[in-house]
Amino acid sequence: MFKRKQKIKHPKATYDEQLLTTLNAAKVDWDRAKQNQEAVYDNNTSELVTQTALARAKYLYLYREARLRQVHGQTIQRSVIDK
């Protein structure tokens, strides 16, 4: 009658894969924001600077989280291949 509900445990790999996917998307967003900021002639616009800083902060947060969890991806990012 008063049974405790068992929590569904998700494997660590599922969360790690989701973290890597989000990390790669954040890297692409940050690169795109940097390119937009460089492409605009008047790059002192506060909106572009703010968007770039926000994208950088998101990426660095996810990167630190991945390092703490010791997550390693099996794919190479396109930004590394293109250089």
* pLDDT, tens only, 4-29: 776 666 788 889 999 999 999 999 99
Give the 3-state secondary structure of the chain. Answer: CCCCCCCCCCCHHHHHHHHHHHHHHHHHHHHHHHHHHHHCCCCCCHHHHHHHHHHHHHHHHHHHHHHHHCCCCCCCCHHHHHC
pLDDT in tens, 24-74: 999 999 999 999 888 887 756 788 889 999 999 999 999 999 999 988 877
Instruction: Show me where the domains of the chain are located.
Output: 27-71
Please give the model's pTM, rounded to 2 decimal places.
0.73
